[in-house]
């Protein structure tokens, strides 16, 4: 009963005043009340029970979170899953060697025995969710500091987890929504034996590279396929040759009849993060301080990596995934700076906040909300410089293995050194494997440059109180830290595999703590986490004010946003197949799809981004498209929908009104890069691979028809 009431209350909040089809990342629990009628009008033929049911198998059982950061879907009764190429990229690169370069040449398992197991890759099934707002808010009160609040939430969360994980069978995650105003818990089941089934070569799967990334028109076959394995009873199990393909509760039928403009399209997946409730000051901080530093530091580490990747295939394969990950957000953040500036998003948000401030200072609201806007603005003003500084520092943790070593290998060595003999014996095999992997994955000259260039940029541009050790080094080495880093690299034992292995035989916590690279890494982390009393207070006040802003915006009806920000929980977005308007920056003619002919128009032989396999060109010349051609006689490649997605949705299924698979979401368009902060219903599109192109590549290009034969095809 109480649960029912709080659900009702949540629904009232969720409904808002009007609901727009394309915008919104909706909760499966609420689509019956909020969206279903609208969806039916647009072409949905399923009941909500067929999409999300706790008791019966439903569409949601065919959707998994892929390795923590992407989405994938089950497409056969034998556990076959489809996701993006860029989601499988890390695993594909890991399985590749210069001799067997699957990243460059593609891979298609002829039989299940040929499928390859990468070291760590898991998928997460969604079992159920429920509202726990009342329960958590019941433990909180207004006189708590943010830290006390967090502690109370953590304690209650631990209880909820324990009550629902069925003795470790499930992973339970409690998430905050609407900036800590509501809470829901999610029950998941993880499978860890996931194997590579097939991938196109990267000149199909990543065709267009970083030049085309985030752009339309697009011509990328961004897909790869894996299979989930479990034990004989269908339960999750560690990798074993005895494991068998999982028989999923549900798999998606694949519809190859083709799409046309205006067709209903919905996407289910795991959007990672949006900031649609972000205050104006936060947008301004990102545009002027945080993102420019992010962009510049990313490019610096990319350039350092690339120099060595171009010279050696083994280095290229080792750094490919890291490089692609950094490059992806390097371009995204610049796109955000441009779009947010062009559309004056901070200004329009500030105008809305001024309205809110007037509401907040009405007599009946003043006590609770009166100082909210002021507190938020003070916080941003006081932290702008720090945010720039922090970004220069943080990007180094992504690019440089040694900048973050205190968090990775170093922290494991530390735990080992501090353990007793029995514990060490237990830890040894895993740690040995971590060390092997660490040294197999790095190339010291590249690591030296990545760190040097990152540090040089940091001391020059951070414009804030520097890490003390680096401040000193900067003086001593006159602004060029090359000699400094050379010195650290030669003095540290962490740059030599032999010496790290020797450390395992004679572990010494002091030696580790005094190692110069370990020290630098620890200093950088400590500096980042340093909180003066003043900063602690600012953050405390801000946390509370932001939560009140969202609360007040919802009460006053002043926010145009009616749904909670993305937070890596399963959401549904619906809309239709839809073209980008001709008056956007884009010079594509008004269309919603691209073709193989268009792909070949971009072809540049031997180019790193725009090369193509000869076989693909021949198939196009002969129009040998099998049953996958469009009625118009061309081979479709990508198409656009107006769905509301973000990073994390990569690999999500695009479904027609019957819940059949018509495409695979993989990107957004640069004109709408402000989308994580503000949804633009004219410009914001999702870029999808047409499912017919996926099947054409598997069947006609790769000759792996047996994989298509596993699927349930609707012709």
Quote the least distance from Cβ 668 to ligand ARG, whole Å: 7
Q: Which of 22, 61, 86, 676 is catalytic?
A: 86
**Structure tokens of 498?**
């032999």
Quote the least distance from Cβ 197 to ligand ARG, whole Å: 20
Site residues for ligand ARG, window 546-565 (CB under 6 A)?
none
| 328: contact with ligand ARG by CB under 6 A | yes
* Contact status, residue 317 vs residue 97, Cβ threshold 8 Å: yes
Judged by CB under 6 A, which of 35, 65, 173, 213 binds ligand ARG? 213
Give me the 44-83 binding string for ligand ARG, x by CB under 6 A, dash otherwise: ----------------------------------------
Sign of the alpha-carbon torsion through 405, 411, 417, 423 = negative
Give me the 429-458 binding string for ligand ARG, x by CB under 6 A, dash otherwise: ------------------------------
Strands 254-255 and 713-714: parallel
Judged by CB under 6 A, which of 30, 102, 191, 214 binds ligand ARG? 214
Site residues for ligand ARG, window 648-667 (CB under 6 A)?
650, 666-667
Residues 433-441: contacts with CB within 8 Å, 24+ apart?
A: 434/409, 435/409, 435/497, 435/500, 435/501, 435/504, 437/119, 438/401, 438/408, 438/409, 439/497, 439/500, 440/318, 441/318, 441/401
Judged by CB under 6 A, which of 27, 72, 74, 86 binds ligand ARG? 86
- Per DSSP, 588 falls in state S
Quote the least distance from Cβ 650 to ligand ARG, whole Å: 4
Q: Which of 173, 650, 667, 690 is catalytic?
A: 650
312 is a catalytic site residue: no
Q: Which is nearer to ligand ARG, 275 or 559 (CB)?
A: 275
Report the 3 state secondary structure along 626-655.
HHHCCCCCCCEEEEEECCCCCCCCCCCEEE
Closest CA to 383 of 246, 279, 518: 279
Helix, strand, or coil here: 75? Answer: coil
Q: Which is nearer to ligand ARG, 255 or 646 (CB)?
A: 646
Query: What is the spatial distance between Cα 473 and Cα 135, in angstroms, rounded to a whole number?
Result: 52
Backbone dihedral region of 179: left (phi > 0), alpha (psi from -120 to 50 degrees) or beta? left
**Structure tokens of 125?**
């099934």
Quote the least distance from Cβ 415 to ligand ARG, whole Å: 34
| 210: contact with ligand ARG by CB under 6 A | yes
| 322: contact with ligand ARG by CB under 6 A | no
Give me the 632-651 binding string for ligand ARG, x by CB under 6 A, dash otherwise: ---------------x--x-
| 274: contact with ligand ARG by CB under 6 A | no
| 327: contact with ligand ARG by CB under 6 A | yes
Backbone dihedral region of 638: left (phi > 0), alpha (psi from -120 to 50 degrees) or beta? beta
Number of residues that bind ligand ARG (CB under 6 A): 13
| 209: contact with ligand ARG by CB under 6 A | yes
* Contact status, residue 334 vs residue 117, Cβ threshold 8 Å: no
| 216: contact with ligand ARG by CB under 6 A | no
Q: Which is nearer to ligand ARG, 474 or 650 (CB)?
A: 650
How many C-beta neighbours within 10 Å does residue 186 have?
20
Judged by CB under 6 A, which of 324, 442, 500, 524 binds ligand ARG? 324
Select the span of 32-40, 320-328, 456-464, 513-521 touching ligand ARG (CB under 6 A): 320-328
Instruction: Write the CA distances from 106 to 21, 49, 664, integer angstroms.
Output: 38, 39, 19
222 is a catalytic site residue: yes
Q: Which of 61, 90, 202, 222 is catalytic?
A: 222
Select the span of 203-211, 354-362, 439-447, 582-590 touching ligand ARG (CB under 6 A): 203-211
Q: Which is nearer to ligand ARG, 324 or 711 (CB)?
A: 324
Q: Which is nearer to ligand ARG, 214 or 356 (CB)?
A: 214
Beta carbons within 8 Å of 34's beta carbon, 6+ residues apart: 11, 14, 15, 19, 26
Q: Which is nearer to ligand ARG, 291 or 666 (CB)?
A: 666
How many C-beta neighbours within 10 Å does residue 237 have?
17
Site residues for ligand ARG, window 499-528 (CB under 6 A)?
none
Query: What is the spatial distance between Cα 216 and Cα 584, in angstroms, rounded to a whole number?
Result: 11
Q: Which is nearer to ligand ARG, 35 or 328 (CB)?
A: 328
Beta carbons within 8 Å of 604's beta carbon, 6+ residues apart: 610, 611
Q: Which is nearer to ligand ARG, 224 or 328 (CB)?
A: 328
Strands 193-199 and 107-108: antiparallel
* Contact status, residue 81 vs residue 74, Cβ threshold 8 Å: yes
| 316: contact with ligand ARG by CB under 6 A | no
Select the span of 8-16, 202-210, 360-368, 693-701 touching ligand ARG (CB under 6 A): 202-210
Q: Which is nearer to ligand ARG, 213 or 642 (CB)?
A: 213
Judged by CB under 6 A, which of 117, 135, 206, 227 binds ligand ARG? 206
Helix, strand, or coil here: 185? Answer: strand
Backbone dihedral region of 263: left (phi > 0), alpha (psi from -120 to 50 degrees) or beta? beta
Closest CA to 528 of 473, 468, 475, 448: 468
Closest CA to 272 of 650, 694, 660: 650
Quote the least distance from Cβ 272 to ligand ARG, whole Å: 10
| 326: contact with ligand ARG by CB under 6 A | no
Beta carbons within 8 Å of 512's beta carbon, 6+ residues apart: 410, 413, 414, 417, 503, 518
Quote the least distance from Cβ 179 to ligand ARG, whole Å: 25
Instruction: Write the CA distances from 701 to 74, 693, 696, 697, 710, integer angstroms.
Output: 22, 10, 7, 5, 17
Query: Active-site positions?
Result: 86, 222, 650
What residue ranges bind ligand ARG (CB under 6 A)? 86, 206, 209-210, 213-214, 324, 327-328, 647, 650, 666-667
């Amino acid at each position: 009963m109480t649960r029912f009431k709080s659900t009702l209350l949540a629904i009232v909040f969720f409904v808002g005043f009007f609901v727009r089809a394309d915008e919104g990342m909706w909760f499966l629990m609420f689509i019956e009340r909020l969206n279903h009628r609208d969806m039916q009008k647009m072409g949905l033929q399923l009941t909500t029970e067929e999409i999300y049911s706790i008791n019966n198998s439903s569409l949601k059982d065919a959707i998994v979170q892929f390795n923590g950061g992407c989405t994938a879907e089950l497409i056969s009764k034998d556990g076959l899953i489809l996701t993006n190429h860029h989601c499988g990229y890390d695993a594909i690169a890991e399985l590749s060697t210069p001799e067997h370069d699957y990243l460059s040449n593609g891979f298609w398992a002829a039989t299940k025995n040929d499928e390859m197991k990468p070291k760590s890759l898991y998928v997460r099934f969604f079992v159920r969710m429920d509202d726990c707002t009342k329960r958590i808010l019941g433990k909180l009160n207004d006189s708590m500091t943010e830290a006390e609040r967090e502690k109370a939430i953590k304690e209650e969360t631990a209880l909820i987890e324990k009550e629902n994980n069925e003795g470790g069978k499930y992973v339970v995650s409690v998430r905050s929504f609407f900036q800590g105003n509501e809470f829901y818990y999610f029950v998941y089941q993880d499978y860890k034996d996931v194997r590579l089934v097939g991938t196109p070569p990267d000149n199909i799967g990543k065709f267009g590279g970083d030049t085309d990334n985030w752009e339309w028109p697009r011509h990328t076959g961004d897909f790869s396929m894996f299979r989930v394995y479990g034990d004989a009873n269908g339960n999750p199990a560690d990798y074993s040759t005895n494991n068998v393909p999982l028989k999923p509760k549900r798999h998606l039928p694949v519809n190859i009849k083709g799409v046309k403009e205006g067709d209903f399209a919905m996407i289910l997946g795991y959007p990672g993060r949006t900031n649609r409730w972000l205050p104006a000051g936060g947008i301004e901080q990102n545009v002027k301080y945080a993102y420019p530093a992010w962009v510049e530091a990313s490019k610096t580490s990319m350039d350092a990596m690339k120099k060595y990747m171009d010279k050696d295939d083994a280095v290229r394969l080792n750094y490919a995934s890291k490089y692609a990950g950094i490059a992806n957000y390097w371009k995204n953040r610049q796109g955000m700076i441009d779009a947010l500036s062009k559309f004056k998003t901070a200004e329009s948000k500030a105008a809305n906040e001024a309205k809110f401030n007037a509401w907040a200072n009405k007599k009946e609201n003043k006590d609770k909300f009166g100082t909210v806007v002021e507190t938020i603005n003070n916080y941003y003003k006081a932290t702008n410089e720090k945010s720039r500084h922090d970004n220069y520092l943080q990007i180094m943790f992504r690019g440089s293995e040694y900048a973050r070593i205190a968090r990775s290998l170093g922290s494991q060595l530390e735990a080992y050194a501090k353990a007793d003999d029995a514990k060490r014996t237990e830890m040894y095999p895993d740690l040995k494997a971590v060390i092997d992997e660490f040294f197999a994955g790095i190339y010291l000259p590249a690591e030296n440059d990545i760190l040097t260039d990152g540090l040089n940029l940091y001391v020059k541009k951070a414009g804030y109180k520097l890490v003390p050790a680096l401040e000193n080094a900067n003086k001593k080495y006159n602004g060029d830290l090359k000699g400094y880093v050379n010195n650290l690299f030669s003095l540290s034992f962490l740059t030599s595999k032999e010496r790290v292995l020797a450390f395992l035989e004679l572990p010494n916590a002091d030696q580790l703590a005094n190692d110069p690279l370990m020290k630098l890494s620890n200093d950088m982390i400590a500096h980042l986490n340093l909180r003066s009393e003043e900063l602690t207070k600012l953050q405390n006040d801000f946390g509370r004010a932001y939560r009140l802003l969202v609360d007040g915006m919802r009460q006053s009806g002043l926010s145009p946003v009616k749904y909670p920000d993305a937070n890596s929980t399963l959401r549904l977005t619906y809309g239709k197949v839809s073209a980008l308007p001709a008056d956007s920056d884009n010079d594509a003619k008004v269309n919603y799809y691209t073709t193989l002919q268009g792909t070949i128009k971009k072809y540049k032989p031997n180019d790193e981004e725009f090369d193509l396999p000869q076989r693909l060109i021949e198939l196009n010349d002969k129009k040998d498209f099998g049953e996958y051609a469009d009625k118009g006689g061309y081979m479709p490649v990508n198409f656009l929908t107006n769905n509301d997605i973000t990073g994390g949705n990569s690999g999500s299924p695009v479904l027609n009104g019957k819940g059949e698979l018509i495409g695979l979401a993989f990107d957004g368009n640069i004109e709408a890069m402000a989308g994580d902060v503000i949804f633009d219903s004219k410009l914001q599109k999702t870029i999808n691979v047409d499912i017919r192109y996926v099947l054409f590549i598997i069947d006609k290009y790769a000759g792996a028809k047996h994989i298509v034969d596993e699927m349930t095809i609707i012709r």
